[in-house]
Chain A
Amino acid sequence: MLRIVHLVEEDTPDGIARYLDFLRQDPPMAALARHEILPLSGLLPPGPLEAPDMIISHLPVTWAGLPRLMSLRSRHPRVPMVHVEHCYSEGYMVANPGARLRLQTLLRSAYALFDRVVAVSAAQSDWLSRRGLVHPGCLMMIPPCTPLEALPLIRPPAGPVRRLAALGTLDRQKGFDILIRAFRMLPNQGISLRIYGKGHQAQPLAQLAASDPRIRFMGHLRDPFEAYSDCDAVAIPSRWDPYGLVAMEANAAGRPALLNPVDGLRAQLGRGNIAVPELSEEAWSDALRRLFDPEHPPALPDRLAAGPEETRAGWNRLIRCFLDPQGSEGSRGRLSLVSTC
């Protein structure tokens, strides 16, 4: 069986961790290859890996982490190396405009070390392609997925929306500051906002919500089942979001998502999710007011139009890129760099 090593940061975000859970637990994915997770700490390169068939990096690309990637490439010159880009997207570039050229240089340099770069959404793939950050032949798109089997078992919400949830790392990316300010502008009683997650902005966000008893911080949940069970709708005010796993999970749980249509979240529209036209407190407050309107509750979303099939098909395509049908007796069925871009 093929052996694929996934490199992740030790404190990897929950979304990536749940994606890796899916890769390991999903029977078709497990039949495709044995997925091993290797958490890395600090900026040191991993020790020599024992003959992996493929190395997949889920690491965030940084200047400080570049030597680690170079070391990895030089130690495994014949092993297909793939980078899955979970971090950077068009929205990231817009939200961090100060270092455009520096970031583009970093991404071009890092991606050049890999045989394939995997985008997680069509929007991210278009952006990488039009900015010339990846060679067109090396770019693939595989939407991620998380274990979704349990979520459809959650009872669908009934009646008007009263409980709103927001899930994710408490940092600037998720835009929870805008959500809290917008929520506080609502006079409604009997509504609540529960925020699940941890992160370095926990303290400022708590201060922002301090005097409003309707807002509660629920801490970190490794399994979001409980969060989706305890809400009627989910808010995703992300400043950037390469894919938007939370929207997919919320829909699988039968909850509509109120979202900022940026990056991969744009593709999550059309399943009953609601786009807020502008990422501002005023626009989000208006959208929340309509969401909580007892006269016009939102329609329940399709319980997962996009499923794990696309993810499985994408991984199949990726592995086929490197399968060597002409290989020798010993190497047949193994992966090699037969296809380079």
Chain B
Amino acid sequence: MPRSSLIVPARDAVTRLGRSLRALLAQTDPDFEILVVDDGSCDGSQASVRALRSPRIRLIQQRPRGMAGALNTGIAHARGTFIGFCPPGAVWHPGKLEAHVRQLSSDPALGLSYSARLLMTGGGADLPDPAPTGPRRLNAVRLLRDDPVGDAAGVVMRRAALEAIAFRPAGEILRDWWFDETCPEGDGARDAWLRLALTSDWDLRGLPRPLLRSPLERAVPTEAEWQALCARAGRLAPALASRHADPAAALRLRRIARLRLLDGDIPGAGAALRRAWQSAPLTLVGDALPSLEMLRALARARHPRPETPKAPAGLPAHPTLFLARSALQKDRPHAAHRSPR
């Protein structure tokens, strides 16, 4: 019985599947299986999986049920104690599974482990994800406001924690659902994390090292996904939703602005930042530095300055820095004149 099961939901993803699977096969942790759930592909994805000829890979085929449906089928077939998710296009760092397994094994109350991520743009560049990541325990408020976990890519969960969010909707006779297959435009992952935080006592914690590269377009929930998430929060925790939904919406728009800026979409970034400030200005005033940085960057992008000659080597670029450095050296005369041994 493998310790971990890694689920790859795939539909017509032949161009992205190989790279993700090769990264999974290169994991340093030795004890895992890969379940590729083919969600009714017509592009030869199955053949590309079989061509890898790896005994670790199990291919499961189903009629199309969407990304959440494929993840659910994968979970139903998974044999591992820890279950990870890797949609096509996401690329795992070789040490990722090992790091998550270590974290989950050392803390029996930890139900979900995720890592920081780099976002791949269309041009191939990697951008740091603006969502904060760290070992601090996540609660529903942080999930809603900061979206630190993101979609399913790169998350590793304990099987017992998944059981805490399992449900069987009316009419379903084959298996349970863990991810809500009625969620619009997505894998239902953010909804699942929110349910885990609101209805169970499992911990959710992150690894600060970026161990995942995932596509930029899934870094922020779409509008429909966001509305569904707010509706879920409103039903499960009305008080929390009424207090945090508007600030969370503003923070989501600010994240969109930042990602667009990093991706070079200047008009899109400006529009998103404007909408963010219109929706919940009080929230953003409390944490205005990112917005000011973005405004500065937007202004620079719109009115680029002519290149200034560089300061001579050895001198600080700015007179203020020069004065500060002189003052520091006066305070620490021995440090300034210490001779190397």
Q: Which residues of A contact B (CB under 8 A)?
A: 90, 93-94, 97, 126-127, 129-132, 261-262, 275, 277-283, 286-287, 290
Q: Are the C-beta atoms of B235 and A97 separated by less than 8 Å?
A: no
| Of A93, A132, A277, A279, the contact of B201 (CB 8 Å cutoff) | A93
Please determine whether B200 and A94 come into contact, CB atoms closer than 8 angstroms.
Answer: yes
Specify which chain A residues have a CB less than 8 angstroms from the CB of B200 in the assembled complex.
90, 94
Chain B residues near A281 (CB-CB < 8 A): 235
Name which residue of chain A comes closest to B170, CB basis: A290
Give bound CA distance, A105 to B339, whole Å: 55
Nearest Cβ distance between residue A115 and chain B, in whole angstroms? Answer: 23
Contact call B235/A277, Cβ cutoff below 8 A: no
Closest partner residue, chain A, to B111 (CB atom) = A130
Task: Select which of A127, A131, A132, A283 is within 8 A of B235 by beta carbon.
Answer: A283
* CB < 8 Å neighbour of A280 from B168, B170, B201, B235: B235
Beyond A131-B201, A261-B167, A290-B170, 17 additional pairs, beta carbon < 8 A: A90-B200, A94-B198, A94-B199, A97-B139, A127-B201, A130-B108, A132-B108, A132-B109, A262-B199, A275-B168, A277-B168, A278-B167, A278-B236, A279-B199, A282-B235, A286-B170, A287-B170
Provide a sorted-by-A list of 26 A–B residue pairs whose CB atoms are within 8 angstroms.
A90-B200, A94-B199, A94-B200, A94-B201, A126-B160, A127-B201, A129-B108, A130-B108, A130-B109, A131-B109, A131-B201, A132-B109, A275-B167, A277-B167, A277-B168, A277-B169, A278-B167, A278-B235, A278-B236, A279-B199, A280-B236, A282-B235, A283-B235, A286-B170, A287-B170, A290-B170
Q: Which residues of B contact A290 (CB under 8 A)?
A: 170
| Nearest A residue (CB) for B171 | A290
Q: Which of A131, A132, A278, A290 has the most CB of B within 10 A?
A: A278
In B234-257, which residues have CB < 8 Å from any A CB?
235-236
Interface residues of B in 202-243 (CB under 8 A from A): 235-236
Tell me the bound Cα distance from A290 to B139 in angstroms. Answer: 34
Q: Which residues of A contact B160 (CB under 8 A)?
A: 126
Question: From residue A82, how far is it (CB to closest CB) to chain B in Å?
Answer: 24
Q: Give A262 to B200 CA distance when docked, in angstroms.
A: 9
Q: Give the top 8 A-B pairs by smallest Cβ distance, nearest first.
A: A280-B235, A277-B167, A130-B108, A90-B201, A93-B201, A130-B109, A131-B109, A94-B201
Interface residues of B in 84-132 (CB under 8 A from A): 108-109
B17 to chain A, nearest CB (A): 32
Q: How far is the CA of A131 from the CA of B108 in the complex (A)?
A: 7
Inter-chain CA distance A286–B182, complex, in Å, is 16
Identity of the chain A residue whose Cβ is nearest the Cβ of B140 in the assembled complex: A97
How distant is A96 from chain B, measured CB to nearest CB, in Å? 11
Interface code B123-162, partner A: CB below 8 Å = 1, 0 otherwise? 0000000000000000100000000000000000000100
Residues of A within 8 A of B167 (CB): 261, 275, 277-278
Q: How far is the CA of A287 from the CA of B171 in the complex (A)?
A: 12
Report Cα–Cα, A105/B38, bound state, in Å.
48
* A52 CA to B170 CA, complexed, in Å: 52
- The residue in A262, A280, A281, A287 that gathers the most chain B C-beta atoms within 10 A of its C-beta is A280
Most chain B C-beta atoms within 10 Å of own C-beta, residue among A94, A126, A130, A287: A130
Whole-angstrom distance between the alpha carbons of A283 and B235 in the complex?
9
A182 to B174, CA, bound (A): 28
| B110 closest partner in A (C-beta) | A130
Q: Given the complex, which residues of A lie within 8 Å of B235, measured CB to CB?
A: 278, 280-283
Q: Which residues of A contact B236 (CB under 8 A)?
A: 278-280
Q: Which residue of chain A has its CB nearest to the CB of B180?
A: A277
Residue ID in chain A nearest B139 by CB atoms: A97
Nearest B-chain residue to A127, judged by Cβ? B201
- Report how far A290 CA is from B170 CA in the complex, Å: 9
Query: Considering the complex, which residues of chain B in the window 172-203 have a beta carbon less than 8 Å from any beta carbon of chain A?
Result: 198-201
Residues of A within 8 A of B199 (CB): 94, 262, 279
B109 contacts across to A, CB distance below 8 A: 130-132
> How far in angstroms is the closest Cβ of chain A from B164?
8
Closest partner residue, chain B, to A287 (CB atom): B170
Cα(A279)–Cα(B167), bound, Å: 12
Query: How many Å lie between the Cα of A275 and that of B177 in the bound state?
Result: 13
Q: How far is the CA of A126 from the CA of B170 in the complex (A)?
A: 28
Complex Cα gap A165–B235 (Å): 24
Query: Smallest CB–CB gap between B229 and chain A, Å?
Result: 14
Given the complex of chains A and B, what is the CA–CA distance between A126 and B167 in angstroms? 19
Q: How far is the CB of B245 from chain A (nearest CB, A)?
A: 16
- Min C-beta distance of A102 to chain B, whole Å: 15
Which residue of chain B is the closest to A100 with respect to CB atoms?
B201
A283 / chain B contacts, CB cutoff of 8 Å: 235
A281 to B236, CA, bound (A): 9
Chain A minimum-CB-distance residue to B107: A130
Tell me which residues across on chain B come within 8 A of A277, comparing CB atoms: 167-169
- Closest Cβ–Cβ distance, residue B241 to chain A (whole Å): 11
Q: Which residues of B contact A287 (CB under 8 A)?
A: 170
A280 to B198, CA, bound (A): 12
Once the chains are docked, how many angstroms separate the CA of A130 from the CA of B106? 11
Most buried by A among B108, B198, B201: B201
In the complex, chain A residues whose CB is within 8 Å of the CB of B170: 286-287, 290
